[in-house]
Amino acid sequence: MVLPGIHRYQFFTNVKDRALTKNLNRLTMLGIAATLGVDIIKPLFKGLPQTIYCYECRACYATQDNCPVGISVQAELVVAARVSDYRRFIKNGGLKCVRCGNCSSFCVQNIQLQKVFGTMQLITIDAIKKGKVPKSVLVGAMEEGLVGRDFIDDVARQTEGQV
């Protein structure tokens, strides 16, 4: 019941009188479905199911000096792995991770980060071999020392003549 003099606003709920809102709702649902596709189905398909549980709290940044190769942005690597963002993974040092697992003890979700990074390294190297990563990114990574011993030959081969 609405009392006299009191206006009831139903901007979000009274959808049946608002054709435009219905379409907006459909658009929103499509957006949610697309986000789910990228955030859940893609990592499952790529063999990185653990990345789904990361809620980007960044507690793992407490790893600090405990990372032997000086990576301090583990959450960036996890998110890059979740959405298969090779460029972001390389630029944040993903290819120099030695998979020691020190950072995993700081993860509040108990994600085995060394396993995630190892899998993403293999996926990234495969993408590099298939030419899916711009050479400028690879050259920059080589120059900045962001490529670990295991992958130097593979990356250097792709950037031959430019490094």
Q: Which residues bind ligand SF4 (CB under 6 A)?
A: 54-60, 63, 67-69, 71, 74-75, 78, 97-103, 107-109, 111, 113-114, 117
At its nearest, how many Å lie between ligand SF4 and the CB of residue 83?
14
Helix or strand run (H / E) with residue 155: helix 152-158
Query: Of 31 and 70, which CB lies nearer to ligand SF4 in the complex structure?
Result: 70
At its nearest, how many Å lie between ligand SF4 and the CB of residue 80?
12
Q: Among all chains, which residue has been given the structure tokens 């009274």?
A: 14
- Spatial distance between the Cα atoms of 115 and 21, rounded to a whole number of angstroms: 44
CB 128 within 8 A of CB 158: yes
Which tokens sit at 141?
């990574």
At its nearest, how many Å lie between ligand SF4 and the CB of residue 51?
8
Q: How far is CA 154 from CA 75, 92, 126, in A?
A: 25, 18, 10
Query: Of 71 and 155, which CB lies nearer to ligand SF4 in the complex structure?
Result: 71
Query: Of 121 and 159, which CB lies nearer to ligand SF4 in the complex structure?
Result: 121
Helices and strands per DSSP (H, E), number in the chain: 7, 0
- Spatial distance between the Cα atoms of 130 and 127, rounded to a whole number of angstroms: 5
Query: Of 104 and 159, which CB lies nearer to ligand SF4 in the complex structure?
Result: 104
At its nearest, how many Å lie between ligand SF4 and the CB of residue 143?
21
